């Protein structure tokens, strides 16, 4: 595409003499078009000829599940703001020739997306290659592509900042053209002849390096590490689940009805099933999500605002009030469901339940209950970032947890208690994600330090595999750590924590730690026996000195699935990257 003046094709769209802003792509709620419309509203008085074109059909999956609800809401917003002459929707697919004509006609290209974690955007690449002045939210791909003055980045869901950026470009033709030129020149690197040439160079380098045996070994090792993962199978999870919820225990692989159900396990099951939906969009998991959420709903006592935990097989709760930890895990499960809700109905249900359950956590004294509540709040705020009460509670719980570390941690014992017990990695994990969410660097650093130490003290010095602290004695400061009984929940919590540590810091040591913890399930452990049944997705209940516990209960099975899902998500991101 040559470097053309936008006026060249404007007359084809009845836009001659108008300033044109363009957004294109499949329409869905994560595109943030409503923010762009609010920004345009602030500009039309100064630029009465302004035209914002939203080009693209509704995403097929969105249309299948929700119809045209999002598009209609945008059209209503335009009507309410009196912008009918300034915002036009072209609800259609376009071929490449038509797309280029729209792009050439645009004075400014706009991507108002909502999600930071977007690692690619074909639409942004097209706009850059056509030499457009670009305004975008700072998702990962935009930060990389628009560096060095090739575009302007504005905060997510901030119409005022977006309007300011657009206004600067509309007022200053020289600055706009200079930005266009920088974008166009950079885009020349992305045309097919240049890309092909770069691949040829890369292949030549790879062939030369492959001749070295050590490099060949590293390549084979990397292939094994990142490309050979078991399938995520939910067979055993389903066999542990009836129309009430998931059973707590099993005898070998047979559900044990004697001990009934727990809210703990059903909340964890919410986590694993909504993550499965996020990864694979498998609709067969939706009935499971509904069943576990229904259990959690029934467990919440509306009078006390607390969940009950233990339910017998005849569907009677045997405790009046559950533990603080079980309530925290409930908030964690609900928060995860809110963040990636498969439908508006599930989003509405979980949001209502979360808000009913949230106030109680401010009265808790258990650091682990705080930690699980924090994890739920961070996920909730990904969806509802403007909820000030949730932000306040996150700040309060994060500060409490951080202060326990400040009060107890020393150079050789960077922990918040005198004994390391159960669910340990959730404590630094909560500090890390809360610190990043609230921009509290001291929390994040404390969490990372504690997690590094936790990995170090749970790595077998002689053989280098994971050796988690056993629950038969725990690990007291100044004492010897218990070697057995080792529980799958500890390895899964470490993987979850290391996953977010890697996501936040991009330090590849965390990726190696994830591999170490994952291999614990597969037999690289103190008894050199695998805990998982790869055919059913079940997991045995722990490591004893005599070998593995052959029962496959809910907590262990869910722990394995959480670990495996995190590995799959990391693999997917690495393949895309």
Cβ-in-10-Å burial (0-12, 13-18, 19+) of 339 comes to: buried
Pick the closest to residue 289 from 255, 254, 329, 238 (CA basis).
238
Token pair for 566: 């995190």
Confidence of residue 212 (pLDDT cuts 50, 70, 90): low
Percent of the chain with pLDDT over 70: 96
In this predicted structure, the answer to whether residue 575 has a pLDDT above a threshold of 60 is no
In this predicted structure, the answer to whether residue 219 has a pLDDT above a threshold of 60 is no
In this predicted structure, the answer to whether residue 225 has a pLDDT above a threshold of 50 is no
Of the given ranges (15-29, 194-208, 420-434), which has the lowest mean pLDDT? Answer: 194-208
State how far the Cα of 92 lies from the Cα of 71, in Å rounded to an integer. 12
The model's pLDDT over 85-128, given as tens digits with 9 standing for 90+, comes to 999 999 998 888 888 889 999 999 999 999 888 888 889 999 99
Beta bridge partners of 134: 109
* Cβ contacts of 40 within 8 Å, gap of 6 or more: 21, 50, 52, 83, 86, 87, 163, 166
Mean pLDDT of 356-363: 97
pLDDT value of residue 197? 85
pLDDT value of residue 218? 40
Q: Which residue has the higher pLDDT, 224 or 6?
A: 6
In this predicted structure, the answer to whether residue 217 has a pLDDT above a threshold of 50 is no
Mean pLDDT of 204-229: 57
Token pair for 76: 């209503």
Of the given ranges (24-28, 390-394, 410-414), which has the lowest mean pLDDT? Answer: 24-28
State how far the Cα of 304 lies from the Cα of 134, in Å rounded to an integer. 52
Q: C-alpha angle with apex 577: 21 to 459, nearest 5 degrees?
A: 140
Domains and their CATH numbers in the chain: 7-193 (3.40.50.2000), 226-576 (1.50.10.10)
* Cβ contacts of 308 within 8 Å, gap of 6 or more: 263, 299, 301, 317, 319, 320, 321, 322
State how far the Cα of 241 lies from the Cα of 254, in Å rounded to an integer. 11
In this predicted structure, the answer to whether residue 213 has a pLDDT above a threshold of 50 is no
The model's pLDDT over 35-49, given as tens digits with 9 standing for 90+, comes to 999 999 999 999 999
Cβ-in-10-Å burial (0-12, 13-18, 19+) of 158 comes to: middle
Check if the beta carbon of residue 289 is closer than 8 Å to that of residue 275. Answer: no
In this predicted structure, the answer to whether residue 565 has a pLDDT above a threshold of 90 is yes
In this predicted structure, the answer to whether residue 226 has a pLDDT above a threshold of 70 is no
The model's pLDDT over 246-301, given as tens digits with 9 standing for 90+, comes to 999 999 999 999 999 999 999 999 999 999 999 999 999 999 999 999 999 999 99
Q: Is 24 helix (H, G, I), strand (E, B) or coil?
A: strand
Token pair for 400: 């409490």
Q: C-alpha angle with apex 35: 57 to 179, nearest 5 degrees?
A: 85
pLDDT value of residue 221? 44
Check if the beta carbon of residue 57 is closer than 8 Å to that of residue 27. Answer: yes
pLDDT value of residue 576? 53
State how far the Cα of 109 lies from the Cα of 138, in Å rounded to an integer. 14
Confidence of residue 1 (pLDDT cuts 50, 70, 90): low
Token pair for 317: 């709760």
pLDDT value of residue 115? 87
State how far the Cα of 336 lies from the Cα of 352, in Å rounded to an integer. 14
* Cβ contacts of 284 within 8 Å, gap of 6 or more: none
The model's pLDDT over 489-533, given as tens digits with 9 standing for 90+, comes to 999 999 999 999 999 999 999 999 999 999 999 999 999 999 999
399-407 long-range contacts (CB < 8 A, ≥24 apart) are: 400/367, 400/370, 401/367, 401/370, 401/371, 401/374, 401/427, 401/430, 401/431, 401/434, 402/431, 402/440, 402/442, 402/443, 402/446, 404/367, 405/431, 405/446, 405/450, 406/446
pLDDT value of residue 142? 93
Q: What is the DSSP string of 292-359?
A: HHHHHHHHEETTTTEE--EE-TTS-BS-SS--HHHHHHHHHHHHHHHHT-SSHHHHHHHHHHHHHHGG
Residue 155 has a CB neighbour count (10 Å cut-off) of 11
């Amino acid at each position: 595409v040559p470097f053309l003046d936008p006026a060249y094709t404007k007359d084809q769209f009845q836009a001659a003499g108008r300033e044109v802003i363009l957004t294109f792509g499949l329409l869905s709620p994560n595109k943030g078009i409503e923010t762009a419309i609010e920004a345009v509203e602030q500009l039309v008085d100064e630029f009465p000829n302004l035209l914002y074109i939203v080009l693209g059909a509704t995403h097929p999956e969105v249309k299948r599940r929700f119809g045209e609800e999002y598009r209609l809401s945008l059209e209503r917003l335009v009507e309410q703001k009196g912008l009918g002459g300034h915002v036009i929707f072209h609800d259609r697919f376009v071929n490449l020739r038509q797309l280029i004509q729209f792009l050439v006609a645009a004075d400014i290209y706009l991507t108002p997306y909502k999600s930071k974690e977007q690692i690619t955007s074909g639409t942004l690449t097209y706009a850059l290659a056509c030499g457009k002045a670009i305004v975008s939210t700072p998702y990962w791909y935009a930060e990389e592509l628009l560096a060095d003055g090739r575009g302007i980045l504005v905060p997510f869901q901030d119409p005022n900042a977006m309007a300011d950026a657009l206004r600067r470009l509309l007022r200053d033709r020289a600055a706009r053209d200079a930005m266009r030129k920088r974008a166009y020149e950079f885009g020349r690197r992305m045309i097919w002849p240049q890309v092909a040439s770069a691949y040829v160079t890369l292949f030549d380098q790879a062939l030369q390096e492959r001749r070295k045996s050590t490099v060949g070994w590293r390549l084979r090792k990397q292939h094994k590490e990142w490309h050979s993962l078991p399938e995520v199978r939910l067979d055993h999870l389903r066999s542990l689940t009836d129309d009430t919820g998931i059973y707590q225990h099993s005898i070998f692989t047979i559900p044990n009805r004697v001990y009934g159900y727990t809210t703990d396990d059903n909340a964890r099951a919410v986590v694993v099933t909504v993550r499965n939906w996020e990864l694979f969009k498998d609709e067969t998991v939706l009935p499971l999500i509904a069943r576990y959420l229904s259990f959690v709903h029934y467990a919440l006592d509306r009078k006390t605002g607390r969940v009950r935990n233990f339910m017998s097989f005849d569907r009677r709760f045997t405790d009046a009030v559950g533990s603080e930890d079980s309530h925290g895990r409930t908030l964690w499960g609900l928060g995860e469901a809110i963040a990636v809700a498969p439908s508006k109905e599930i989003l509405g249900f979980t949001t209502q339940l979360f808000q009913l359950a949230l106030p109680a956590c401010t009265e808790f004294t258990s650091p682990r209950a705080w930690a699980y509540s924090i994890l739920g709040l961070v996920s909730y705020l990904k969806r509802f970032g403007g909820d000030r009460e949730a932000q306040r509670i996150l700040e309060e719980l994060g500060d409490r947890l951080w202060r326990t570390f400040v009060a107890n941690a020393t150079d050789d014992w960077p922990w918040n208690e005198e004994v390391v017990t159960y669910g340990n990695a959730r404590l630094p994990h909560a500090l890390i994600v809360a610190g990043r969410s609230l921009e509290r660097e001291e929390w994040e650093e404390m969490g990372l330090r504690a997690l590094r130490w936790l990995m170090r003290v749970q790595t077998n010095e002689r053989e280098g595999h994971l050796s988690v602290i056993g629950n038969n004695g725990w690990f007291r400061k100044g004492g010897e750590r218990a070697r057995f009984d080792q529980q799958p929940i500890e390895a899964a919590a470490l993987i979850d924590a290391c996953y977010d540590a890697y996501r936040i810091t991009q330090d590849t040591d965390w990726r190696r730690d994830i591999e170490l913890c994952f291999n614990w399930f597969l037999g690289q452990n103190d008894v050199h026996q695998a805990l998982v049944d790869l055919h059913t997705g079940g997991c045995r209940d722990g490591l004893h000195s005599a070998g593995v516990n052959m029962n496959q209960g809910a907590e262990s099975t869910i722990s394995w699935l959480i670990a495996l899902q995190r590995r799959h998500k990391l693999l997917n991101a690495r393949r895309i990257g």
